[in-house]
Structure 1
Amino acid sequence: MSRKILIWLSYLLFIQPLYSIAKDDISVELKVVANAHPLLQYPEKDKNKGPTIDILNAILAEAQLTASVAFMPWARAFSIAKKNPNTLILSMIRTPEREDSFYWIIKVSRPARVFISLESKTENYVDTIEQAKEKLIAVILNSAEHKELVAAGFSDKKNLYIVSSREQMISLLANGRVDLIYTDPNNARAQLQAMNRPNIGIHYKKITMKNQRVSYIALNKGTDKAIAQRLQQAADKFVKTPEYDYLLAN
C-alpha cells in the first residue's frame, strides 16, 4: 500500500468521528417551554411574540440551532424543563434551589416582587410580611413566588390560594376573592389590561432593591455540553448589542 493511500485512510479515520459529532449537533432540535406572560412572551395569531421571544430567536439564529416553543401552565413547564435534556425554559427566576439543574444562558427581565392589593380595599394594605400572613394571597403553583412565600412561613393551608396561571391570580384579586397577590406591579397592570379591566387600581409599597429579582432563559443541565456551549457563546455575543439592551429594558 502506497504512502499516499495510508495518509488518505488515516485522514478518513480522523474526520469520521468529527463529522458524526457535527452532524448530530446540528440536527438537534431544542424544545422550549414557557408560561404565557403579557410583558415577556406570548402567542398571538399563530406567532410567538414578546422581548424574551426576540432574545431567544436572536440566540438561536447566532447558534444556528432551531427550537419549537410550547406555552403551558408554569408548573408543567418547569417540570418538563427540569426533567428533559435539550429543553429551554423562558423567563425563569434564578434561585439557589434551581441553580444546579440548569445552565443560565441569558438574563431576560428584572421583575420586582411585592404584595399587591386593590386600591379600593384599604383594609388589605400591608407594610410587613407578618401583616401579609394574616391575608389570603393568590400565587402560582411551584413558581419562585410560591417557593419564596412557603420558605418565609406562609402555608398552602392557611394563607395561600394556589392557582395554575397568571390570569387566574389577577382575576381573583380583581374580583375581590383574595386579599393580595405577590408579583411585579407591571405584570399585574398588563394582565388587567389584557382582561379589559385597566381601570382597576392597585396598591403596593415602594419597590426597593430587596424586592428585585432576575429571570433568565435557562437550559436543562443534562443537555449535551457542545449544545450548551454554542448557546452560551451566542448569548455572550448578543448581550453586547444595542438590540439586547433595548429588549431587556422592555
Structure 2
Amino acid sequence: MRFARCLAGLVLALTLVGAQAQAIRGVTEESGYTWLSAGRVLGPASEVVAATMQRAGFADYRVGIYPWARAYDMALQEPNVLIFMIARTPQREDKFKWAGEFMRIEYHLYKLRSSTEVVVRTLQDARAYSIGVVRDDVRQQYLQSQGFTRLVVSAQNGDNFRKLLHRQVQLVPMPERDARQLCDESHIDCAMLEKVYTLDTLSTGLFMAYSKATPDDVVLRTRAAFEKLKADGTLARLMAAPGR
C-alpha cells in the first residue's frame, strides 16, 4: 500500500513537471490595463497574471505585449499560450480554454466633439461613418457581423486614436478607461472627445484564456488559482489600481 501511494505521488509529480515542461507565454495588447515601461510589462492586468501564476505554482512564465492580431494568432496556433484581456464571445468560445474573468467591459463610440457633422443616435446611424478598429479585435468582428463596411483596420488602439485626431476616421470604439489613457498619452484634453453611442450588445467579460493545445492540468491549476484571487479580494484590488 505504501509503495502504491509513493508510486501515485511520483506519477502526479511527473505529470505536473511535464505540464510545466514548456514555459507559459502570456500575450496581450497595450491598453489601459497593460503597458510597457522600461522594457517591463506593467499594469493591473499583468499584476493579476503574475499573482495567478504564483498562486498556481508556475515559476516558468513570461509576458509580452504585441499587436492584437499577433497575440490572437499565437493563442490560436501555439501551445501553452495564455492570452489575457480577451473578450469572451460565442464565436470564440470553442477556440480557447477559458481560465478566469477579469472584469466586465463596455465599448463606446467616440468622435471628435468638433465633428458636428457626425451624428449617431442608433447603431444604424453609425454605418454612415468611417470607424477605426483593431485587426481581429472583438470590435472589428462584431461590426463586420452587423454588416459595417466602412471599417479602417489598424494594428493597435493607439493607431486608431491618432487617426481620429487627424480626422482619418470619424468614429472609434473604445472603453472609457482606454479613451482617458490615450488622451493622457497624446497630451490632449479628453473634452475634445464625445461619447456618442454605447455598443450595449458588445458589452462582455474580459478573460484570460489558454490556447487549445495547452494541457488541461495547466488550465485547471490556473483556473483554481484565479478563483482564489477572486475570492480573497486580490483580483478586485489589483484591477482597481490606477493606470499609468
Whether the TM-score (by the shorter chain) exceeds 0.5 is yes
Report SS of the residue matched to 1:122: coil
| Cα distance in structure 1, aligned partners of 2:209 and 2:33 | 15
Deviation at 1:109, TM superposition (A): 3.1
Offset at 1:209?
A: 5.3
Map of 1:43 onto structure 2: 36
Q: Choose from 52, 56, 63 the match for 2:45.
A: 52
- Corresponding residue number in structure 2 for 1:139: 133
Q: Which runs of 5+ in 2 are unaligned?
A: none
- What is the aligned partner in structure 2 of residue 115 from structure 1? 109
1:9 is displaced (CA, Å) by: 7.6
**Who is 2:165 aligned against?**
174
Q: 1:239 to 1:142 in 2, by over 3 A?
A: same
Taking structure 1 as the reference length, what is the TM-score of the superposition? Answer: 0.87
Report Cα offsets for 1:179-233 as digits up to 9, x if no partner. 1112223312211211222355111236585453211111112211111111111
Question: Where does 1:60-139 land on structure 2 (aligned, <5 Å)?
Answer: 60-65=53-58, 66-139=60-133
Alignment of 1:220 with 2:211, yes or no, is: yes
Contact 2:109–2:199 under 8 Å retained in 1: no
Distance 1:140 1:22, change over 3 A: closer
Please tell me whether the aligned partners of residues 174 and 200 of structure 1 are also in contact (alpha carbons under 8 angstroms): no
User: 2: distance between equivalents of 1:185 and 1:232?
Assistant: 28
Per-residue deviation, 1:51? 0.8
Q: CA RMSD in A?
A: 2.2
* Alpha-carbon distance in structure 2 between the residues aligned to 1:75 and 1:218: 15
Aligned residue number for residue 221 of structure 2:
230
Give, in whole Å, the separation in 2 of the partners of 1:176 and 1:77.
Answer: 28
C-alpha change, 1:217 and 1:12, in structure 2 (3 Å) is closer
SS of residue paired to 1:168? helix
Q: Which amino acid aligns with 1:50?
A: G
Change in Cα spacing, 1:46 to 1:100, as seen in structure 2 (3 Å) is same
SS at match of 2:153: strand
1:185 to 176, 190, 193: 176
Amino acid at match of 2:57: Q
Which of the two has higher C-alpha Rg?
1
TM score, norm. by length of structure 2: 0.89
Q: Kindly indicate whether the alpha-carbon contact (under 8 Å) linking 2:34 and 2:43 is maintained by their aligned counterparts in 1.
A: yes
> SS of 1:246's equivalent?
helix
Sort the Cα spacing of 1:76 and 1:136 in 2 relative to 1 into closer, same or farther, 3 A. same
- Measured against aligned partners, the alpha-carbon deviations of 1:46-89 in whole angstroms (never above 9, x if no partner) come to 22211101110110000010311111110110010111121101
Match of 1:163 in 2: 154
- Residue matched to 2:239: 248
**CA distance in structure 2 between the partners assigned to 1:231 and 1:199 by the alignment:** 38
